[in-house]
Structure formats: C-alpha cells, structure tokens
Amino acid sequence: MSHEPFPTETPAVVTCGLPYANGNIHLGHLRTYVGGDVLARALRTLGQQTAFVSGSDMHGTPIAVNAQQEGISPETFALRWHETYQTTFPRFHIEFDNYGHTHDEVNTALTREIVRDLDARGYIYETEIDVAWDAELDQPLLDRYIEGTCPYCGATARGDECENCGRHLEPGELEQPHSILTDNPATYRTRQHKFFRLTEFEDYLREFIDRLEGTSNAKNQPREWIEHELKDWNITRDLDWGIDYPSDGNDDLVLYVWVDAPIEYIASTKQYSDRVGTATFDWEQAWKQGDGELIHVIGRDIIQHHTVFWPAMLHGVDYTEPRAVMASGFMTLDGEAFSTSRQYAVWVDDYLDAGLDPDLYRYYITTGTGFQQDLNFSWEHFQERVNDELIGTVGNFCYRTLLFAARNYGGTPDEALGIEIRDRIEEACSEFQDGINAYSTREAMNAGIRLARFGNQYLQRHEPWTLTDSDPERAMQVIRGCVQLVKAIAILLEPVMPEKSAQLWEQLGETNSVHTATLDTVLEPPSSEFGELNELFEPISDDRIAALNEQLRAQRTEK
C-alpha cells in the first residue's frame, strides 16, 4: 500500500507529542512543537486540509508526587502548567487548532470507550504480576520511583523506560531494582493487573511498519522490537491519579499514561471538529473512517509508543492508522545535555524577555539540520546564522528589491513576468512540495532561502541600477521579476517564519493573508502599490551574545 502525495482529497491531522504538565519549557522542548507547526502550515500551503492538535499530558507519577510536595491536588498542579503552555506556545507562533489535556471530559470518555471496546473484542485480560514495593514506606514503587539495570543494554534505567536504548520496560524487567525514595532494594507483592494482547498484532505491526512514512528512525527502530521482543503490555498502574480503569468491579487501578495520552490526539481533533463544525473538519472521517492522513511529530525517545503500542490499539478498534511518524533528534546546549535540575537551559521566557524574535529560533532549528538528526544550539551559531543567512540573504534581497521598486516605480513595475523568473519560482515550489512529501521540513523551507539567494545573484548579474537610464524597459523587467520573487519567498517561508512573512506581505501591499496563501498563488501579480518598507531583521551584536552566555553561566547550578 502506498499513499497519494500531498495534497490529497482526504483530511490530514498533524499531532505533537504531549508535553508533560510538570514544569517550564526550554528551547530544547520546542523542537517537536515548532516542527509540527511548520509541517501543518506547509501542508496548508500545499492546499491540504489540515488540523493541528495536541494537549497537555496531565497524568502519571511525577505530577502526583510534585503536587503532594506542594500540598495541592494533582489536577490543580497539572492545570496550572497546562494553562502556562496554552500561553507559551502561541508566543512562538505555534498555533494549534485545538490544545486540550488528557484529564478533560472528552479524552476521559474516549479513553474509556476505546478500552471497553478493546476488552469486548478480547484484547484485554487480567493476570497476577509481582509489583515492586518499598517495604519501609509500605507503598508500591511506581515507574519513576524505581531504578535498576536495563536487561537489554545494561544502563541504569527507571521503572518503565530505558533512556539509553529507548526500550519500554514492563514491571519486573529491571534487574537489581531499588527504591529511589529510601534506596532500599525493592520487594515484590502480587497484584491483579490488566494486559493488552499486543502479541496478537505482530503480523499487523510488521506490515504497518513497512508502509509507515516519516523519518527513517521511526521506521527502523521498532523493527527489532516487533520481530524479537514483542510482549503483551501492562496497561494499568497502582495509582490514585489518572483515568480509572473502566470496570464494573472494584479495581483500584488507573490506566497507564501511555494508554490515555495518545487518545488525546483523537479527543483534541474531536474538540476542534465540535467547535468549527464537521463541514469544516470532520474528526470521524479522519480517525474512524480510514480516510485520514495522520502524522505524529514526536521526540525519538517515544518512538516505540507511537509505532508499536498506539497503532495496535487503533487497529484493535478499527480506527485509522498513522500515515507517518516524524521523530526528532536530541538537542544539546553548547555540546551538553539540557538539564532542568541544574538550570542548564535557555528557558522560553528568557529568550522572549531578551527581545529575540521567535521566528529566528524557528528558522534556526528547522533549517539547521534534518529533523531526525541531533542538533547542538549555541548563541554564537545562532548569531552567525541570523546575521549571515537571514539578514545577508533574505533580508538583503527583499529590502533592496522593494526599496528600488518603490523609489523608481512607486511599487511593482507594470511589466510582464519573464520566463527565467517564472521557471525558477516553479522550481522552488516543486522543491517545497517534494520536501514536505519526504517529511523534510528543512528541505521545504530551504526552497525559500535558495530562492532569495538566486534573487541576490539575479540582481547582481543584471544590475538594474545601471539600466534605469540606458535601458529603462529592461530595468523594469528585472525589478518586476524580483518583486515576484519576494512574493514567492513570503509564501514559501511562511511556515517557518509566519510573523516575518506577514510583515513582508504587508510591505508588498497584499490585502489578503499570507497565512492562507497557497502555492498556486505564488505567480499571481503582486500589488501595484507597497506598504511601508522596513528592514525585516536586526543584526545580533557580539555584546548581546556575550550577555546571553553570561546569563546562562550565572543561572547554572551543579547537582
């Protein structure tokens, strides 16, 4: 089975992995959310009907623990961070069509409905397992409270996941487990728990991975698990905070967070559909009728959840399977891991409070390397790319062109568009579309940068400033083509720099919105009259970079 290239006639849903409602967001966290936003905007630029959704992950042990330490309920604690994220994301022009959370009524109801359906179809069973226990505290050791040795790679791992090799760990798999609360060796008690018959989906998952699109790491990493390590999946936990297991009995169990978290993708789409109406976007067509183009944009640490557990659950209840999974590489800061505990991070608020435009960072992380590759951030490299690429290439060409046109012709010259410019713009549009269909937002966005680079070369080659007297008609032809290039650049770069593109669009004198412009409008004649012209970008000085580095050093603690 192969998919039709974008744009298709069926609706697309782009999702981002749910941020855990447990603390502040730093620049490293934003890679996934900017990536999803760029992809959703780019799909719309192609003319693809697209919903962009996500939500806050409200459940799990760390939230319950931190809430207890603050003396408030887990719901109050998580909602506080959820509301923070609702404010933070738009400040970086990350515009979800709907942003919900896993504890809301829609997700709770959908989760229970899907689990009941899986149970009714025979995919869930109950069995006794040995649950890790802290004898001194007389309480179960939930996932984040137990550490030991990963049986697969030998690294130190927590209860449900090994960060070193990325494997999901079932209860009892850790070797030499101990409590991180008391450092005592874990003891075990027998408890009844619910399991999902994941092993029954082995054949389906093999076929699913073969047709899955997206980044290569999202396809290659799960193959070994599916072929050699597939086990039934424990979907309940001994915890008070979460969605109760839907049962007629007295089970003192909640669903594991990785059951209800991805269902939030469906719930959030439903909330969007309910708000705008099914004529605008039909969530059931996307999720329940097999017609949706579902794309998950995630960090690579949760590939297994999105390529093994999640598609099996969807298949078990006859929902639409994902078309693609895009898994990002890790981000480092000056060659070291971001660390919230040691305050070694550039926090989102600090970036914005420094007066830095969010579009600059969006550009930096989107075009610096492939989405699945690791990316190192440094203030010096950020400065270099802004000053050299955005100012030296994009800003330079656009401002020179519009200023020359305004001074000499009062706006766009009244000339026909030349074939060379038309061909180059059409080539850039093909590069943009090919990049999105290859799930390479970097290649798609670089189409606009290459077009600006071509524009600078075109100006230098034809030197219209030398032709205004000797060959005025030719000068008009050159500038007419360059203004068309500026319009195309504004449309092609809108997904990655929406605010800067809107400013450029306004300078062009366009009256509609660049955010709704599609590729089939790039060759439409620009407005004859411009708006107020200004430089798009400001250079970042060495002194400013030195101050930002000093702030990073000053806030860092050693733990």
Bridge partners of 179?
146
Confirm whether residue 429 is marked as ligand binding: no
Position 279, amino acid: A
CA distances from 280 to 264, 283, 417 (A): 20, 10, 36
Helices (H) and strands (E) in the chain, counts: 20, 18
Distances 326 to 35, 36, 126 between C-alpha atoms, Å: 9, 9, 34
Count Cβ atoms below 10 Å from residue 71 Cβ, excluding itself: 7
Helical axes 472-493 vs 498-507, angle rounded to 10°: 150
Please say whether the beta carbons of 209 and 306 come within 8 A: no
Q: Torsions phi, psi of 293, nearest 5? A: -100, 90
Residues 271, 36: Cα–Cα separation, whole Å = 19
Is 398 annotated among the ligand-binding residues?
Answer: no
Please give the backbone phi and psi of residue 233, each rounded to the nearest 5 degrees, phi first.
Answer: -115, 125
Among the listed residues 333, 384, 378, 386, the one whose alpha carbon sits nearest the alpha carbon of residue 359: 386
Query: Which residue from 391, 344, 254, 336 is spatially nearest to 26, judged by alpha carbons?
Result: 344
Tell me phi and psi for residue 6, to 5 degrees: -75, 140
Is 162 labelled a binding residue?
A: yes
Q: Is 62 exposed, middle or buried (0-12, 13-18, 19+ CB in 10 A)?
A: middle
From residue 36, give the alpha-carbon distance in Å to each of 78, 332, 495: 23, 20, 10
Contact 232, 197 (CB under 8 A): yes
- DSSP 8-state code for residue 223: H
Residue linked to tokens 């967070």 = 257
Exposed/middle/buried for residue 196 (C-beta within 10 Å: 0-12, 13-18, 19+):
buried
Look up residue 25 and give its two tokens. Answer: 């967001």
Instruction: Please list the residues that pair with 175 across neighbouring strands.
Output: 149
**Structure token digits, residue 382:** 């950020």
DSSP run (H or E) holding 432: helix 419-437
- Confirm whether residue 153 is marked as ligand binding: yes
Question: What are the tokens at 71?
Answer: 């003396």
Sequence ranges of the binding site for ATP = 340
Sequence ranges of the binding site = 150, 153, 162, 165, 340
Sequence ranges of the binding site for Zn(2+) = 150, 153, 162, 165
